[in-house]
């Protein structure tokens, strides 16, 4: 465990997750191999169990590790092709892209949610409830209905804000939202998380609580921002591993 560098107590769990990704990519733990125990990792990283568990959950969310109840956490196998499929094409390809789009969405959509909680009509709320119900029904379907409803939910909230300019700003980046939703949905378990968070947002809107609606939207966007960043980090690590392997093969 000496290869792991201690993490500052003020460091976010996201940074812990990224360090674990780096160690996996460096070959410290092979695909299918069990990670050290929580106590060993906490001691090596100098962090608490709650921080470590949040980091591991983030890695499990993007498919980098597999958490098995009563057995421990294992490095996922067959990740390269999965990452290639998820990140291929589109405009959101770098950490800068993800960070800037996330920043824009958080600034805009949290306030749209707060305004919606204040201004939505009963008809507006019924429409949102119908969308959430559709998401639940299509949760485990193989088609794209869930993804379409996900996008529709965000656009509907913007419309319910009764601010035509803010709503138009969100519609302007509709293509980027669609790409974000499509790629994120391919991460194992992401649909269940998305549905639960959309339901929480809707409940805050229905109960006319702007602060809760704003907080629920922020939490939702930050969850998928972390997941997307981890996907990119894992993809970069896999690319480096492949380049090293090809270089060594060439020398042989």
Class of domain 1-77 (CATH, top level): mainly alpha
What pLDDT does 4 receive? 59
Do 135 and 150 touch, CB atoms closer than 8 A? yes
Query: What residues does each domain of the chain span?
Result: 1-77, 93-230
What pLDDT does 85 receive? 46
Q: What's the whole-model pTM score?
A: 0.65
CA distance 64 to 78: 10
Phi, psi of 77 (to 5 degrees): -110, 155
What pLDDT does 7 receive? 46
What pLDDT does 115 receive? 97
**93-230: CATH, from 3.30.70.260, 3.20.20.300, 2.30.110.10, 1.20.120.530:** 1.20.120.530
Q: 18-33 as b/e, with b when 16 or more CB fall inside 10 Å?
A: bbbbbbbbeebbeeee
Average pLDDT, 10 consecutive residues per value, the chain (252 residues):
48 73 78 90 89 83 78 77 49 77 92 97 97 95 90 96 91 85 79 95 98 96 82 62 46 48
């Amino acid at each position: 465990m000496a290869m792991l560098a201690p993490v500052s107590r003020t460091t976010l769990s996201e940074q812990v997750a990224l360090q674990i990704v780096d160690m996996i990519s460096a070959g410290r733990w092979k695909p299918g191999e069990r990670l050290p125990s929580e106590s060993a990792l906490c001691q090596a990283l100098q962090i608490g169990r709650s921080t470590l568990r949040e980091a591991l959950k983030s890695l499990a969310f993007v498919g980098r590790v597999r958490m098995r109840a009563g057995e421990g956490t294992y490095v996922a196998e067959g990740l390269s092709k999965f990452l290639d499929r998820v990140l291929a094409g589109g405009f959101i390809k770098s950490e800068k892209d993800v960070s800037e789009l996330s920043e824009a969405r958080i600034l805009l959509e949290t306030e749209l949610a707060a305004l919606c909680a204040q201004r939505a009509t009963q008809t507006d709320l019924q429409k949102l409830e119908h969308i959430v119900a559709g998401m639940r029904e299509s949760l485990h379907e193989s088609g794209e209905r869930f993804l379409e409803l996900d996008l529709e939910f965000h656009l509907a909230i913007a419309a319910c804000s009764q601010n035509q300019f803010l709503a138009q700003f969100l519609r302007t980046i509709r293509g980027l939202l669609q790409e974000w939703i499509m790629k994120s949905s391919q991460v194992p378990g992401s649909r269940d998380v998305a549905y639960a968070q959309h339901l929480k947002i809707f409940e805050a809107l229905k109960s006319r609580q702007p602060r809760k609606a704003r907080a629920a939207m922020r939490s939702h966007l930050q969850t998928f921002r972390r997941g997307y960043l981890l996907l990119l980090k894992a993809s970069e690590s896999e690319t480096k591993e492949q380049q090293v392997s090809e270089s060594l093969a060439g020398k042989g």
